[in-house]
Structure 1
Amino acid sequence: MQCLLVIGCVWPEPNSSAAGSRMLQLLEFFLAENYKITFVTTAARSEFAVDLEKMNIASEVIKMNHPSFDELLKNVQPDLVLFDRFMTEEQFGWRVDENCPEAIKILDTEDLHFLRKTRIEAFKKNKNSKDLYFDAEITKREIASIYRCDLSLIISEAEIKLLQEEFRISSKLLYYLPFQLEPISEEEKINLPGFEQRNNFISIGNFLHEPNWNAILYLKEEIWPLIRKEVPGAKLYIYGAYPSQKVWNLHNEKEGFIVKGRAENAEAIMRNAKVCLAPIRFGAGLKGKLIQAMQCGTPAVTTSIGAEGIPGDLAWNGYITNDQQEFAKKAVCLYTEENLWKDAIENGFRIINSRFNKIEHQQEFSKKLAELIQNISVYRRENFVGRMLQHHQHRSTYFMAKFIEEKEKSKLL
């Protein structure tokens, strides 16, 4: 039995964020491949995290810049190490190389952080993100991490294209792996609430994620008043994990803007909403809320950023627009016109079944892993840039870690 060590950025919370769902999907894949899994993270244990023990996955909290991680590596002896986002590779990659040089290193980017961060900055400065990301420190860090790993999992085709065309990264280092979802059967479609059974609008997203907060504020100030003018009795329910006081302050019963906070059962709530609104103006990766809307037969109005990487060449399950007037108009159309609504949800089912088919993606990923394992020496020999970056960056990280270790020892003395 092969051993997998997952170094998590946080504990996986599938009910709190798309990133949590993504990690759970990866864990389930490796369990199905008969890997013995150990999950570790420096983050404090979360009450909302999935129960890894029930999944037969060992887990523990680890310390940063501490030699105890070296001992853990020696005990686990992983055949494969999965880094959850590039920050964990920066912190622990050199220790993996030092203690388990033969272990295959896979980076799950979740989304390209440099793209998300520079899009935020570009939005605030009214600039093109392309003018910013080439010079940004986070870009250099994340691209270097991709080179140092044997394979990087990229969740969006748009991000694969960016890495290959703008940064000239070899396709051998990148692997497209979006969400892996069960196909929606005809029986499931029939059992979903219909047009007449549904009421109100919904918007949902983890509030620790800045694009979600910005989208809710945009709805409140610009878009929702236009929608409410056309459908006065409608309400917009706002859900999301980790709402701050500024989120709760947006709640207004008279305006029909209802802030609910964390959803105990996001799927049930989405299934009963008539239209999902996601005016996301910056961000990266795939938007889990919009994927879930499709699974629940709920049409959505979003932006080009919101839809990025999801439909491919297929029709969207609603409308895509970056204009606030058009956004409100299309939301009202979906809310009031049953035929449009029904056509939209069929588009969503088609996207889920053809682009995110769990069986198909897992079969292809299994083949890719087998090829990587069998030809790892060739992969590494052809990735000289990665070996060079590994040498220089790991030496600097090594000395910084040793400095911190000695500093902590002196405190104890």
Structure 2
Amino acid sequence: MGIKRKIKNYIHLKKYYPLSDKVIVHDDNKKSILILDNQIPMFDKDSGSNRITEIASFLAINYNVYLMNWLKPIPRVEQKKYIQNFSNRNVIVYTPFINKYGIMRGKKYFLDTLAPKLDYIWCHRPEIFEYYLDFFRKKTPQAQIIYDMVDIHFLRMERGQEIKYDKKREKQIEYYKNIETELSKKADKIVVISEKEKEFMMNFIDESKLFTISNVHNLKVQPMDMPSFEKRSGIFFIGSFLHDPNVDAVKFLYHKILPIVWKTLPNLKVFIVGQEAPEDILKMESELFEVKGFVEDVIPYYKKCFASVSPLRYGAGVKGKIGQALEYALPVVTTNIGAEGMFLEDKITALISDNEDYQKFAENIIEICSNKEIWETLHKNSEKAIFPFSIEAQKEEMDKLLS
């Protein structure tokens, strides 16, 4: 690192950190966990980040929990609210700092100080596990290494290849397949996101190493407190466009599904919410199809729309966008791949169509926007649908993982 960059980083840290007056003291009577991610998780930007935020918060009740960003040693100013959110939940996030002697202390100091105290290393995402496996085997031989897959990346990509083949993607598939089916055998324990993915991974990994910790969702409202069917209008899609299945889903929605829907419901408005929408989706913008981009507060959409729609044709894992809708008692219209691992039942807790059946998906949108009886059934059954993702339902598995 050049001298100019060091000076710039020093000034940045002096100005913006520490972030709060709250000091979280390490408790020697508790076991300690270090969570490693490729970013400071942003709970309102993507499902994986929201999941690890909730897991870290739950663990911080009974453990010393530390979190470190793998990629960026100096946090950006806009990450301040996420670091503060973790601090408020008793999770200590690594940030470099200036000590009382004016010396900048960075990642090496943090790891050297923490290493002897660690009981678990939680590697969140495959790149992190690959990068840090050997490092922590040597630095913390006493600690168990947990590999959190988030979803099965190579499986998601292989499914995407069936929709639209990309020769460049083949190398990525091989890269992730090697981590997820071979290198993963060196982990002490492996976290999968659903029982369906656990079943799949048993083809490669001994079942005794596999633990299912899914997304964490809890009912945030009572259905009777939310606006009624008569007070609603429109539908919406939510998801980060840094995730390829979401890009494909919106194109599928716009080009195949909505032309059928608009023949019956010509005034139905559709809202597209999510960061980093590509140019070809931005060009879809119209009076009936609003591309909103990243939205700080998405709750108004859960209050005003008939449904959250997720016409996913490929993917893996469980879908945070569906769990989030259920948190606000909002009916969901999705596909088999969207419902995968979610314990959903067609016409009871969601409306579900085959992945490629755009005609049926369109009919389901029309039904949820015009049939009060089916809307109220899904609305009232949201608590039943979301229970498997509550902390209460997953606590036993979490205890087994950390035993």
TM tier, shorter chain? 0.7 to 0.9
- Equivalents in 2 of 1:73, 1:109: separation in Å? 23
Match of 2:209 among 173, 178, 181: 173
Displacement of 1:19: 0.7
The question of whether the paired residues in 2 share the 8 Å contact of 1:202 and 1:236 is answered with: yes
Question: Which whole-Å CA distance do the structure 2 matches of 1:368 and 1:347 have between them?
Answer: 30
Specify the code of the residue in structure 2 equivalent to 1:115.
L
With normalisation by structure 2, the TM-score equals 0.81
SS of alignment partner, residue 196 of structure 1:
helix
Correspondence 1:317 to 2:350: yes
Aligned ranges for residues 147-162 of structure 1 at < 5 Å?
147-162=185-200
Matched, 1:104 2:137: no
Q: Is the 8 A contact 1:42 1:61 kept in 2?
A: no
8 Å Cα contact 2:57-2:90 kept in structure 1: no
Deviation at 1:106, TM superposition (A): 0.9
Question: Structure 2: how far apart are the matches of 1:222 and 1:214?
Answer: 11
Q: Which residues of structure 2 form unaligned runs of 5+?
A: 1-29, 97-105
The amino acid of 1:60's aligned partner reads: Y
CA positional deviation for 1:190: 1.2
Aligned to 1:15: 44
- The alignment status of 1:241 with 2:279, answered yes or no, reads no
Give 1:101 shift. 0.8
Number of equivalenced pairs: 355
Distance 1:348 1:318, change over 3 A: farther
Contact 1:203 1:278 in 2 (8 A): yes
The one-letter code sitting in structure 2 at the alignment partner of 1:342 is E
Distance in 1 of aligned mates of 2:350 and 2:67: 39
Structure 1 gap segments, 5+ residues each: 63-67, 127-131, 371-413
Matches of 1:171 and 1:21, distance apart in 2? 27
| TM-score, structure 1 normalization | 0.79
Q: CA offset at residue 266 of structure 1?
A: 1.9
Q: Secondary structure at the match of 2:177?
A: helix
Whether contact under 8 Å (2:318, 2:341) holds in the other structure is yes
User: Contact 1:227 / 1:331 at 8 angstroms: preserved in 2?
Assistant: yes
Assess, with a 3 A threshold, how the Cα gap between structure 1 residues 22 and 80 changes in structure 2: closer, same or farther: same
Identify the residue that residue 252 of structure 2 maps to in structure 1: 218
* Distance change in 2, residues 1:248/1:154 (3 Å): same
Mapped to 1, the partners of 2:337 and 2:397 lie a distance apart of 27
- The residue identity in structure 2 corresponding to 1:45 is P
Determine if the alignment matches structure 1 residue 90 to structure 2 residue 168. no
Q: Distance in 1 between matches of 2:358 and 2:218?
A: 34
The equivalent of 2:264 in structure 1 is 230
Kept in 1: contact 2:218–2:390 (CA 8 A): yes
**Are 2:334 and 2:353, in contact at CA under 8 Å, matched by a contact in 1?**
yes
User: Aligned partner of 1:265: which letter?
Assistant: D
- Give the superposition deviation at 1:184: 6.1
Which of these residues, 220, 223, 228, is aligned with residue 194 of structure 1? 228
Report the more deviating stretch, 94-103 or 72-81.
72-81
Q: Given that residues 184 and 352 in structure 1 are in contact (C-alpha distance below 8 angstroms), is that contact kept between their aligned partners in structure 2?
A: no
Q: Distance in 1 between matches of 2:58 and 2:399?
A: 9
Q: Deviations over 1:131-154 (max 9, x none)?
A: x89x83421222234211111111
Identify the match of residue 292 of structure 1 among 324, 338, 363. 324
**Higher helix content, 1 or 2:** 1
Aligned residues: percent identity? 25
Asked if 1 retains the 8 angstrom alpha-carbon contact of 2:46 and 2:239, the reply is yes
Preserved CA contact (<8 Å) 2:126 2:176: no
Distance 1:365 1:216 in 2: 35
In structure 2, the residue corresponding to 1:136 is in which secondary structure?
helix
- 1:313 shift after superposition: 6.5
